[in-house]
Amino acid sequence: MGRGKELTKEQITAISSLILGEKDNKEISAITGLALRSVQRWTKKCKDAGEADLPLQKKRTGKARLTSQTTLKVLQRQVNLEPRISAKELREKNPRLLQDVSVRTIQRRLRDDLCFQYRAPRRKPILTTLQRKKRILFCKKYLAWEPDKWKKVLWCDEGTFTVTGNRGGKVKLCDSSDPYHPKYTEGTVKHPDGVMVWGAFGYHGTGELVVLSKNLTVNKERYLELLADHLEDCFIACQGEIFQQDGAPAHSRIGQCLV
């Protein structure tokens, strides 16, 4: 038969105080509400310890862990090499080490012992080798610039935003719900409408945000019109002196026009 619930420090102190008050075991059990067998056991411990020391509940060791430090190091190394690997795949990959360990336990060890956090991958643009080289050259070229000079740079770019009207988020369904009922679904279109937005910003503020007509994109001619109509105001609003744009085709084709 397993041991009962552990006594708290306050309960042990109460037993010790009642013993000093010359209460017998039955009286202590009635006053504290503890089982007579527990009171008898702790009365003996208190008397053996004497008045100087208060006996404390020994911490239970519990069941031995199935994952050793060596196993944790193996898991850490494999997750570092393959961040997308699942706990189930780790178990299948290491049958000798993890054959008696549940998938849930592996997940707890990864989270609690190895401090791995489960997160969705951050989205980053895929860069070609040439694009990487250009970015490295850009960094090296302007590495020595002082912060005050960077504060004078006016940055500009444009982006396309699709217009779908979807709210996003999640819906709540019960077991009897039809997941394809219109109130539980989110509409999609094959080619959603989009608007292109151009803007500029600097250290001291932001310039005007220009929204183009629906489904209209920026080419060389439209880009020149944007700059002619809005660039000067953006320089004034952002207190900029140096114009910076990325290497989009519409931008690179007008390089000579801005010189």
**146-195 pLDDT, tens digit each:** 999 999 999 999 888 887 666 666 676 677 778 888 877 877 777 777 88
Q: Quote the mean pLDDT of the chain.
A: 83
What b/e sequence results for 129-147 when a residue is b if at least 16 CB atoms lie within 10 Å of its CB, and e otherwise?
A: eeeeeeeeeeeeeeeeeee
Between the alpha carbon of residue 149 and those of residues 59, 235, 251, the distances in Å are 63, 15, 23
194 within domain boundaries: yes
Q: State which amino acid sits at residue 222.
A: R
118 within domain boundaries: no
133 within domain boundaries: no
Q: CB–CB of 237/208 below 8 Å?
A: yes
Residues 249 and 147 in one domain: yes
Residues 29 and 76 in one domain: no
Residues 153 and 218 in one domain: yes
Q: Phi/psi at 126 (nearest 5 deg)?
A: -80, 125
88 within domain boundaries: yes
**214-224 pLDDT, tens digit each:** 878 888 888 88
**194-239 pLDDT, tens digit each:** 888 999 999 999 998 999 888 788 888 888 888 999 999 999 999 9
Q: Where in the sequence is the domain holding 78, given as residue range(s)?
A: 69-113
126 within domain boundaries: no
Residues 156 and 239 in one domain: yes
Q: What is the pTM of this model?
A: 0.52
Going by the DSSP 8-state scheme, the letter that residue 66 receives in this structure is S
Domain count, the chain: 3
Mean pLDDT of all residues in 117-134? 87
**94-108 pLDDT, tens digit each:** 999 998 999 999 999
Strands annotated E in 150-217: 153-163, 193-202, 205-206, 210-211
Task: Find all residues with CB under 8 Å of 115, minimum gap 6, and list them.
Answer: none
123 within domain boundaries: no
Pairing of strands 193-202, 153-163: antiparallel
pLDDT recorded at residue 213? 85
